[in-house]
Amino acid sequence: MPLLENNLFKTSKKINNCIAIIVCICFSIYSCSPKPYASSNKVYREKLKELTKTINALPQDNTLDSLKENNNWIGTTNFGIRKPNLVIIHHTAQESCEQTLRTFTKDSTQVSAHYLICKDGTLHHLLNDYLRAWHAGIGKWGNNTDVNSTSIGIELDNNGKDSFTEAQLHVLEDLLAVLKKKYNIPTANFIGHLDIAPGRKVDPGILFPWKRFADSGYGLWYGDTTNTVLPVDFNVLMALRIVGYDVSKPQAAIQAFRQHFLQHSNTGELSEEEKKVLYVLMMRFM
Q: Provide the annotated active-site residues.
A: 155
191 closest CA partner among 181, 273, 182, 201: 201
Contacts of 55 (CB under 8 A, 6+ apart): none
Q: How far is CA 162 from CA 156, 175, 278, in A?
A: 11, 22, 27
Q: What is the DSSP pairing of strand 123-125 with strand 151-156?
A: unpaired
Q: How far is CA 5 from CA 2, 8, 11, 17, 177, in A?
A: 5, 5, 10, 18, 71
Using the 8-state DSSP alphabet, how is residue 148 labeled?
A: G
Provide the residue type at 265 as one letter.
Answer: S
Cα separation of 207 and 263, whole Å?
Answer: 7
Rg (CA), the chain: 27
CA atoms within 13 A on the CB side of 32: 6
Cα separation of 121 and 55, whole Å?
Answer: 35
Q: How far is CA 62 from CA 76, 109, 132, 208, in A?
A: 16, 32, 22, 46
| Contact present, 230 and 278 (Cβ < 8 Å) | no
List alpha helices for the chain, DSSP H: 2-32, 38-56, 97-104, 166-183, 193-196, 210-215, 236-243, 250-257, 272-285
Residue 228: CB atoms within 10 A of its CB come to: 15
